[in-house]
Amino acid sequence: MDFRFTEEQLMIQDVARRIAQEKIAPTAEHHDATGEFPLENIRTLGENGLMGIEVPAEYGGAGMDPISYVLAMVEVAKADAAHSTIMSVNNSLFCNGILKFGTEAQKQKYVRAIAEGREIGAFALTEPQSGSDATAMRCKAVRQDDGSYVINGKKSWITSGPVAKYIVLFAMEDAAKGARGITAFLVDTTQPGFGRGKTEPKLGIRASATCEIEFHDYHVAAEDVLGAQGEGFKIAMGVLDAGRIGIASQAIGIATAAYEATLDYIKDRKAFGAPIGTFQMTQAKIADMKCKLDAALLLTLRAAWTKGDTEKNGGRFSTEAAVAKLTASEAAMWITHQAVQIHGGMGYSKEMPLERYFRDAKITEIYEGTSEIQRLVIARNESGLR
């Protein structure tokens, strides 16, 4: 196996690292404290191809591969997880599904503006009563005689919802058909019938704006149906596979930041007349952190490679994506926990970013499918049992 990255992959990693360190890291504390959406930084990411890394150049993207996406996401997440959340939604959840299932007109209208960072995209699947069980959605789509639809209902926990121009929406057309009754739509939030609720006050990723959205007799033209009628659940699950690679990358970035900060701290901090890094208990924690971090990275790169391969040859990468997301998110939570513990009181203080890494890490075990759902996906795919 060849673990070397290509020149192009290293180039986009370098671009992401430069922007992350020069633009994002200096503002991370401010955005976390205020919850202010980092629009200027997101525009900079878009101008440099990072909001549409796998989007072909003809639709405004960088035209790179899934490995490049992982490398860039890790760099941005190291600087600030909230920025990487916005980046992940635009890349994985918004652009990915339209590129795979959309028409040429839909790609030109919806993907280009998002990939170039001129507009923000969102993905609307979750509802107040349906999170992991997406088929329990109540947001209703009623087909009209001309092929258009009228949408009524509510969606919750919509990342970038307060600022999104375009949204990939999933609504129930025929509840009797269950998963096969769900259809996907492309929504322009400037049109009548669309409304936003309050921005959610979150534990972490606070600059990544999240809210409820509502539809009151919202009209969707026939040309804005994404994919075929009743294909929405299939689209959503495929998009979430790609999204899980993004969240695994985010988790690695958060964990790496905490790990590197800890390595510096254990060399400088002294107790009982010696650097705490010389203590066996500290060394054991460092060794375990390193093992978990490397395992998460390699599994995520495997998932990204598999995604690129299967998209060329057909097939799914859901198991690899779930393994990567589960491993990386739980590693991030464990590593940030240990980092705070090693830093002691300073780890608990807002004077250092450790407590932010700890708060940000938790969400990686929840969105794009909880750790419990990842275990179900893995086990069912391995056993063939449902």
The strand pairing partners of 271, in sequence order, are 274
Compute how many other C-beta atoms are within 10 angstroms of the C-beta atom of residue 87: 29
Q: If you ran DSSP here, which 8-state letter would residue 151 be given?
A: E
**What is the rounded CA–CA span in Å between residue 67 and residue 55?**
13
- Buried-exposed string 275-301: b where 16+ CB fall within 10 A, e elsewhere: ebbeeeebeebbeebeebbeebbebbb
What's the gap between Cα 153 and its chain centre? Answer: 24
**What is the rounded CA–CA span in Å between residue 344 and residue 306?**
40
Helix 25-34 to helix 354-363 angle, to the nearest 10 degrees? Answer: 70
Q: For the chain, how big is the Rg over CA atoms in Å?
A: 21
**What is the rounded CA–CA span in Å between residue 167 and residue 349?**
38
Identity of the residue numbered 111:
V
What's the gap between Cα 352 and its chain centre? Answer: 25
**What is the rounded CA–CA span in Å between residue 150 and residue 58?**
32
Q: Are 320 and 306 spatial neighbours (Cβ–Cβ below 8 Å)?
A: yes
The strand pairing partners of 183, in sequence order, are 171
Compute how many other C-beta atoms are within 10 angstroms of the C-beta atom of residue 50: 30
Instruction: Tell me which of 214, 311, 368, 382 is the catalytic residue.
Output: 368
Q: If you ran DSSP here, which 8-state letter would residue 6 be given?
A: P
Q: Are 269 and 261 spatial neighbours (Cβ–Cβ below 8 Å)?
A: no
Instruction: Reply yes or no on whether 355 is catalytic.
Output: no
Give the burial class of 198: count Cβ atoms within 10 A of its Cβ; 0-12 exposed, 13-18 middle, 19 or more buried: exposed
Residues designated as active site: 368
